[in-house]
Amino acid sequence: MPKKITFIGAGSTIFMKNIVGDALHYNALSDATIALMDIDQSRLDESELVAKKMIASMDVGATVETYTDQRAALTGADFVVVAFQIGGYKPCTVTDFEIPKQYGLRQTIADTLGIGGIMRGLRTVPHLWNICEDMRAVCPDALMLQYVNPMAINTWAIAARYPDIKQVGLCHSVQGTAAELAHDLGVDVDKLRYKVAGINHVAFFLELEERLADGSYADVYPRLFDGYRNGTYPRTTGANERCPNLVRYEMMKQLGYFVTESSEHFAEYVPWFIKSGRDDLIKRFQIPLDEYPTRCEEQIADWKSQAEAFKKADKIEVPKSHEYAATIMNAMSTNTPAVIYGNVANHGFIPQLPVGAAVEVPCLVDANGISPTVVDNIPPQLIALMRSNVNVQELTVAALLTQDREHIYHAAMMDPHTAAELDLDQIRAMVDDLLAQHGDWLPEWARTQVAA
């Protein structure tokens, strides 16, 4: 029987194209019903056009349905792909950058940790919970493939309130970083073998080896250390000239292992790179402040031209992406085992981190679903860094679960970058300003300040 793949946030047309296009490459999914749902009818129409042209171009039997009603789109789904941004670039992301900047707190991406990640979590989790309620009602056995940031906060909050919902948080940072390292090393990424574990965006390559001509494997870390020391690495990948990998190589030098998320992201997860009065650090490590707003403006402009090109094209090329979603759907549908990196609630998978926290570990996927593996040998310096981020995630989730506004302040106080820049009074005032400005984008309990 054909599978039903529901895409919530299908107005993200390029991302929809990647995920749905990947699925159409698999025989078991090529006749699927693709249910596209979004609240923006114009973007939904664009995505419908692209999906139908992909199907025609590949000459497969999949069908497309569109919805603005979430529960209707979810009815009978086997897989639920979730990709949306509550509040959008404007007004909410702009607010997440501009108000902290008034307090002297500068950011680069602001979607995972820090005050931007906290605010995005407060906006996002209630809607993810709403999807879980609908899934319970109309597709209780479906798997949620969750691509929304802040990934760790979202995954933790879903598992804590809806433990019966099957879910996995998916990111492309592991496979993306492997490709970047292969580029620096001058080797084919398929020749790299690695083991990664941690939390989303702060996971580390615990093992990283190259397959040699004789079939044996060699540790490539000595080459990475030597290359950074002599200035050979990082090489510019061409993906974004503004964002070289200097922060990550420096962290590898200091901690001994390479982290999975980009330098522009990672710089705002720690207290060492973006500091008041230290523009020398910004220059030395080439940290692109306000990078996410810049990207948003570029992507909006790019999309207009791409949308016109798609409308005029008779056929659409459908190359495979490096996302995991279709691999998971195929593995579960055909019982063909696959290994992916997924974000799941921590039930002993990384014993050094708190139970329930969202951890990113290797997962076996087959007809039984997602089976995470245990990684219990992460070096203590890496665990310590992860815990500094987990503290913020845990307090944000606690605020959402208990509807306790005080925990929002606590989360901001514990954030490494925020705490390094602002005092307690500044942090509390900044949070108040953000909550007031976001208004109806937040749940009511977060908007209501209780008199002291």
How many Cα neighbours within 13 Å face the side chain of 43?
Answer: 18
Question: Could you report the per-residue pLDDT of 37-61, keeping only the tens digit for each?
Answer: 999 999 999 999 999 999 999 999 9
pLDDT above 90 covers a percentage of the chain that reads 92
Tell me the pLDDT band of 240, cut-offs 50, 70 and 90. confident
Mean pLDDT across 300-319: 85
Say if residue 330 carries a ligand binding annotation: no
pLDDT of residue 302: 86
Say if residue 335 carries a ligand binding annotation: no
Mean pLDDT across 425-440: 97
Mean pLDDT across 292-315: 87
The answer, yes or no, to whether residue 450 has pLDDT greater than 80, is no
The answer, yes or no, to whether residue 88 has pLDDT greater than 70, is yes
Residue type, 293: P
Long-range CB pairs of 425-432, under 8 A, 24+ apart, other chains included: 426/103, 429/103, 430/99, 430/100, 430/102, 430/103, 430/105, 430/115, 431/115
H helix runs in 314-370, sequence order: 325-334
pLDDT of residue 239: 65
265 is catalytic: no
Q: What is the DSSP letter of 421?
A: H
DSSP letter string over 279-303? HHHHHHTT--TTHHHHHHHHHHHHH
Contact 204, 378 (CB under 8 A): yes
pLDDT of residue 311: 81
Tell me the pLDDT band of 185, cut-offs 50, 70 and 90. very high
Alpha-carbon 363 to chain mean position: 17
Average pLDDT of the residues of the chain: 96
Fold of 4-88+109-170+313-333: LDH C-terminal domain-like (3.90.1820)
Question: Could you report the per-residue pLDDT of 365-394, keeping only the tens digit for each?
Answer: 999 999 999 999 999 999 999 999 999 999
Alpha-carbon 378 to chain mean position: 22
Q: Which two tokens stand for residue 405?
A: 């506004």
CA distance 355 to 353: 7
Mean pLDDT across 249-256: 98
Where do the domains of the chain lie? 4-88+109-170+313-333
Please write down the HEC assignment for all residues of 77-118. CCEEEECCCCCHHHHHHHHHHHHHHHCCCCCCCCCCCHHHHH
Q: Is 214 exposed, middle or buried (0-12, 13-18, 19+ CB in 10 A)?
A: exposed
Peptide bond into 150 cis (omega under 30): yes
Q: Which two tokens stand for residue 90?
A: 């404007």
Q: What is the DSSP letter of 191?
A: G
Say if residue 171 carries a ligand binding annotation: yes
Question: Which of 172, 265, 347, 417 is flagged as catalytic?
Answer: 172
Other Cβ atoms within 10 Å of 172 Cβ, number:
16
pLDDT of residue 448: 75
